[in-house]
Amino acid sequence: MDSHKLLGLRPAMGWNSWNTFTWDINEQLIRDVADRFVSEGYKDAGYEYIVIDDCWSLKERDSEGNLVHDPIKFPSGIRALADYIHEKGLKFGMYSCVGTHTCAGFPGSFEHEFQDAQLLAEWGVDYLKYDYCFKPRSMSGELLYKRMSLALKNCGRDILFSACNWGEDNVYQWIRESGAHMYRSTGDIQDNWDSIKSLTLSQLDKTCYTGSFCHNDMDMLVVGMYGGSNDGFIGSKIGGCSDNEYKTHFALWCMMGSPLMIGCDIRNANDVTKDILLNPELIKINQDVEGRGAYRIKPEPQWFHSDDVFMLVKVLTDGDLAIGFFNLSDTQREISLQFWDLGLPYASGFSLELYDCWEYKELGKFKERFAPTVPARDCLVVRAKLVK
């Protein structure tokens, strides 16, 4: 089969420099992350792309109109960094913007789309995150994403196109047709529970707009940051989540089919962070090849629960169901699943055999219903198999 066609088949997995490091990036950091991807098991778990976000270039293009990397941050040059990452069997991503400037004020790709795509290809770039700042008001964002998509698809290299317009301008209605492989559907995540919760709730009625070759990107993961960003907006020392909140965040992104782009400093990740990010059962659900969006079930009795208590169900390729019981509220809840809500009538004679994807253990066989008690800001994720 033509391998071009498979870019973006599954949600991208990788690491992005922005959440923790913002402007403070350099080639040694990126090399260290690549080393850790291999030595700490991220690569084996499926994480692949290492992406430099904003603030990598000089403030001006050169006399030929080319983007120029910052020689202090990247003294060996971008090509050498790409080679280093490729030698480890990983892929390399960079960042630009639809507008005249990036959000941090560096040159954007407006009216340089085809030239920049060419340069990225020459450098060995495999992924482009394409932001939405400084877009001339008279231009349609839709058209500008189509432009860069066309440029990338014809630059001579397979480059995954990651659109980042924060869910503006009804992006759901046109992004798949533009050629982008993933699209940001939300404003920037922050390293706190309120942000995770509000991004999630904003996407619950959009689950039909994700899927293979154009995934709904709910923004980078904040798992393991514990308030450790150098940027006040994303985290600073007042941010940070508890381990359960990070676990729930990861489960939501997995169940909802979001790309999994790590945003913490993996050089200092603790064991809990690694256990969350490397959970093979959750990753399998996220990467399921049919790439179906999850549907939501509101638990009974409905008068008892607010919108922040719900189940998500994802139909998997092999016939199993991934079921997440999410309690985003501040009190413990029993969340009751009636199997008829999954399309399974009692009269069928089938039961569900449930496997707990966090505890890695069988929970047993259930008929008609399953009603776990889920602590506040926590979740249970099971893989359900139909058995007689």
Just list the catalytic residues. Answer: 131, 188
Whether omega before 301 lies within 30 degrees of 0, making that bond cis, reads yes
Site string for ligand GAL, 171-210 (x = CB under 6 A): -----------------x----------------------
CB 226 within 8 A of CB 10: no
Stretch that binds ligand GAL, among 25-33, 60-68, 100-108, 359-367 (CB under 6 A): 100-108
For ligand GAL, which residue of 164, 175, 294, 322 counts as binding (CB under 6 A)? 164
103 near ligand GAL (CB under 6 A): yes
Choices 101-109, 143-151, 264-272, 284-292 (CB under 6 A): range interacting with ligand GAL: 101-109
Q: Which is nearer to ligand GAL, 16 or 279 (CB)?
A: 16
Is residue 217 a contact residue for ligand GAL (CB under 6 A)?
A: no
**Strands in the chain per DSSP E:** 13-16, 49-51, 91-97, 127-131, 160-163, 182-184, 215-217, 260-262, 295-297, 309-315, 321-327, 333-334, 337-338, 351-356, 361-366, 369-370, 373-374, 378-387
Q: Which of 307, 355, 308, 313 is nearest to 338 (CA)?
A: 313
Q: Based on the shown chain and the rule CB under 6 A, indicate whether residue 27 belongs to the binding site for ligand GAL.
A: no
CA triplet 301, 307, 311: central angle to 5 degrees?
A: 70
What DSSP character marks residue 75?
T
Sole residue written with tokens 């089919």: 257
Q: Which residue is nearest to ligand GAL (CB)?
A: 103
Q: Among residue numbers 301 through 360, which ones bind ligand GAL (CB under 6 A)?
A: none
State the Cα angle at 177 between 174 and 179, rounded to 5°: 115
Contacts to ligand GAL from residues 34-73, by CB under 6 A: 53-54
- The whole-angstrom separation of Cα 83 and Cα 81 is 5
What x-and-dash track marks residues 104-123 binding ligand GAL by CB under 6 A?
x-------------------
Our CB check for ligand GAL shows the closer of 4 and 137 to be 137
CB 157 within 8 A of CB 92: no
Give the three-class secondary structure for 145: helix
Of 95 and 325, nearer to ligand GAL (C-beta) is 95
**Nearer Cβ to ligand GAL, position 185 or 200?**
185
Closer to ligand GAL by Cβ: residue 132 or 310:
132
Using CB under 6 A, list all residues that contact ligand GAL. 18, 53-54, 102-104, 131, 133, 164, 166, 188
